[in-house]
């Protein structure tokens, strides 16, 4: 990667140019993998106002050169002054609706699935006036109904975060982590304080806002895992078992990363637009009906 006449130039191993674009049009630069970065790149970032994100191969941000939004103090003041559940209700409602849409996409529906869809639609409506404890309860009971039917027929023992009790739970943890990392970078573009959430409790070193905004998009990972399982891209032999837990074998990391990231990148514009609209609504103090909604695509 180099610069020439205020143009960003990216070349492959054979020194063939694969991308050339003017710095005037760059909004942010995302680099996956280890790099050596020069002061010239950093200077141009400040000059033209674009941020640089350095991510590991698992897309975890390990370096951030934030240019345009690092001084957005007004946004952070609004974040800490905000004390309402309206956004939280909308996030949970959006999540339940997307889970319901995935269940509706099942071709041969049993009566149990149809009943689950009806109940989840009722739960989604109840979020409109729920207090925090009720909201947490609605999210939990909907998730149990949804997971029990969406992953039925797979090697699945129910959703248990971070327990690695089966290959589906392990892969969900991996996929949700990738999604979390992408959402984190998107929020960083606008200067949000990632630790100040609107739904999840604030704990030391917990990026609560990222957890919040990730919720409506979790269905992307759920859908991709079921799709990949059907294509036999997931196999129990890809994992090693240790004391009742399943860990993905190192040699399979690239394969799983490839199709999990592919599922996320198919919705990268949706995630970006959602965060952009969320920022605009939050800064302008708009009514909750104007806040963005993500709809999972068939």
The whole domain housing 16 covers 2-65
| Most confident among 36-45, 138-147, 197-206 (mean pLDDT) | 138-147
What pLDDT sits at residue 119?
Answer: 97
More confident residue, 24 or 219: 219
CA distances from 122 to 80, 139, 246, 260 (A): 32, 12, 36, 31
Task: Please state, in angstroms and rounded to a whole number, the distance separating the CA atoms of residues 139 and 78.
Answer: 26
Q: For residue 264, is pLDDT > 90?
A: yes
Residues 30 and 159 in one domain: no
Among 47, 65, 83, the domain-final residue is 65
pLDDT range class, residue 67, cuts 50, 70, 90: low
Q: Which residues make Cβ contacts (< 8 Å) with residue 139, sequence separation at least 6?
A: 92, 95, 96
Q: For residue 44, is pLDDT > 80?
A: yes
Q: pTM above the 0.85 mark?
A: yes
248 pairs with which residues across the strands?
Answer: 239
Reported as type and span, the H/E element at residue 203 is: none
What pLDDT sits at residue 298?
Answer: 62
3-state SS, residue 20:
strand
Digit-coded pLDDT (tens) for 153-170: 887 888 888 889 999 999
Residues 188 and 90 in one domain: yes
User: What percent of the chain shows pLDDT beyond 70?
Assistant: 99
- What's 35's domain CATH number? 3.100.10.20
Mean pLDDT to the nearest integer, 55-82 = 85
Residues 131 and 261 in one domain: yes
Q: For residue 71, is pLDDT > 80?
A: no
Residues 121 and 38 in one domain: no
Q: For residue 205, is pLDDT > 90?
A: no
Among 12, 46, 65, the domain-final residue is 65
Q: For residue 70, is pLDDT > 80?
A: no
Q: Which residues make Cβ contacts (< 8 Å) with residue 144, sequence separation at least 6?
A: 158, 159
Nearest of 71, 98, 87 to residue 197 by alpha carbon: 87
Task: Please state, in angstroms and rounded to a whole number, the distance separating the CA atoms of residues 141 and 278.
Answer: 27
Nearest of 150, 147, 126, 146 to residue 136 by alpha carbon: 126
- What's 173's domain CATH number? 1.20.120.920
7 pairs with which residues across the strands?
Answer: 4, 22
| Average pLDDT value for the chain | 92
Q: Position of tokens 């003017």?
A: 22
């Amino acid at each position: 990667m180099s610069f020439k006449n205020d143009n960003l130039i990216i070349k492959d191993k054979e020194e063939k140019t694969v991308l050339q674009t003017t710095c005037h049009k760059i909004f942010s630069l995302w680099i996956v993998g280890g790099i050596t970065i020069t002061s010239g790149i950093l200077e141009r970032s400040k000059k033209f106002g674009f941020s640089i994100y350095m991510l590991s191969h698992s897309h975890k941000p390990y370096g951030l050169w934030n240019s345009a939004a690092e001084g957005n103090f007004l946004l952070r003041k609004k974040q800490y002054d905000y004390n309402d559940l309206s956004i939280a209700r909308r996030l949970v409602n959006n999540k339940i609706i997307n889970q319901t849409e995935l269940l509706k996409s099942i071709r041969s529906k049993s009566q149990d699935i149809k009943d689950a869809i009806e109940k989840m639609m009722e739960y989604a409506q109840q979020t409109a006036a729920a207090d925090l404890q009720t909201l947490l309860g609605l999210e939990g009971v909907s998730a149990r109904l949804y997971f029990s039917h969406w992953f039925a027929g797979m090697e699945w023992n129910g959703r248990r975060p971070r327990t690695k009790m089966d290959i589906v739970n392990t892969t969900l943890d991996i996929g949700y982590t990738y999604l979390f990392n992408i959402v984190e970078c998107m929020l960083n573009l606008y200067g949000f304080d990632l630790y100040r959430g609107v739904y999840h409790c604030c704990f030391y070193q917990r990026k609560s806002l990222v957890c919040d905004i990730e919720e409506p998009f979790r269905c992307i990972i759920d859908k991709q895992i079921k799709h990949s399982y059907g294509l036999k891209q997931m196999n129990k032999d890809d994992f090693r078992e240790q004391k009742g837990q399943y860990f993905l074998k190192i040699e399979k990391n690239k394969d799983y990363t490839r199709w999990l990231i592919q599922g996320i990148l198919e919705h990268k514009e949706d995630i970006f637009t959602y965060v952009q609209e969320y920022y605009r609504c939050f800064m302008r103090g708009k009514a909750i009906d104007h806040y963005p909604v993500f709809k999972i695509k068939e």
